Each structure stands twice: as C-alpha cells, then as structure tokens.
Structure 1
C-alpha cells in the first residue's frame, strides 16, 4: 500500500480559502495564474498539492500574510 502523499481534507480547506479570496476580489483564475505563474485551476480543485512557497506566493498576491491566512483556517 502506498503511503498517503497529503491530507486531502487539508488541501480541500486551503483550496476553498483561496477560491473564496479570489471570488471576494472578483478576479478570474486566469488573472491570478498570469500574475503568480501558478496553475490556479489545479490548486483550487485540490488536484495539486500546496507547498509553503505556493501558499506564500498566493498570500502575497492577495495582500495578506501567512498568519492572516492560517488564522481563519481551521486545520
């Protein structure tokens, strides 16, 4: 049996938080992708795992700190 690569629930929560941030700002995935160089579609659907660098890059794009991002995220 293969070891679990990531906690699917954690990825889902992080993805949902970034989706909400994007929608609150009225920005399309394509705009975020161009600005960050990230495949937002794969991240927001949980088909790609988040790294700390990815989370940091998205937080910087949305103008929030890592602390602010994780403060409201129940893990």
Structure 2
C-alpha cells in the first residue's frame, strides 16, 4: 500500500468495491454461497470484510470442527 499506492488501489480497493454488490446479492437468495478471495482482501480498512461491516453486516469467524472429514479431489 505504501510502496505502490496505485497498484494497491487497483488490486485491493477497486476490486473489493466491485465485489461488494455481488457478495451482497448472494445474501438475497436461499442458496448457500461460498466466496473465496486471497488473504490480502480480508485485512485492513479497505478489506471486503470491513466494507461489509461498514454497511451494517455482522462479520464473524466460522468455527470449523478440526475433526471433520475433508475430501479433496484433484483434476482427473
């Protein structure tokens, strides 16, 4: 952010602001949604999480039971 503010704006701030209405639209249906973003989009004042909080959404960590069976399948 400090070393290259223009790139930070394009890669983080602008993208998060573009994604915000798309993520909000997912809240308006009965489907379960999964949003995957890079970690840089989840921290700081310009983060997607902060933007949601600023709009009044409650953002919280989901506790996942570490003993759950997880299956990962690669491309075949």
TM-score higher than 0.5 here? no
Structure possessing the higher radius of gyration over alpha carbons = 2
Task: Name the structure, 1 or 2, with higher relative contact order (CA <8 Å, separation 6+).
Answer: 1
Higher helix content, 1 or 2: 1
**TM-score, normalized by length of structure 1?**
0.31
